[in-house]
Amino acid sequence: MAARRTPGAVSGREEALAAFAAEECSAPRTWSNAPGDRYGWHAHAYHKVLFCLSGSIVFHTDGGDVQLRPGDRLDLEPETAHAATVGPEGVTCIEASR
């Protein structure tokens, strides 16, 4: 599966950072977007691991839409084409690669 959602994987930033460390993910970074912001279609050469810390975001993939809420985890396999739409309350996420 190119995109996999794990609901309620963490309760916050500290648990997300611990998960990244345990899985030897590199350089976690936090980002935020305003309500309704969009990311166009793109892909990454690496396995992307992302946790939603607050708000919501929908990732669009060839396999369907994946909605994330606080605590949810998203794994995107390398070269998975995806786009995203931020929910009505904005979003804050933390992500890393492995």
Number of domains observed in the structure of the chain: 1
* pTM metric for this prediction: 0.94
Mean pLDDT of 58-73: 97
CATH number for the domain that contains residue 15: 2.60.120.10
Is the pLDDT assigned to residue 47 strictly greater than 90? yes
Per-residue confidence at 1, pLDDT binned at 50, 70, 90? low
Query: Is the pLDDT at 80 greater than 90, yes or no?
Result: yes
pLDDT beyond 90 at 40: yes
Instruction: Give me the mean pLDDT over the 60-72 stretch.
Output: 96
Give 25-91 as a 3 state SS string. CEEEEEEEECCCCEEEEECCCCCEEEEEEEEEEEEEECCEEEEECCCCEEEECCCCCEEEEEEEEEE
Is residue 43 scored above 70 in pLDDT?
yes
Contact 53, 93 (CB under 8 A): yes
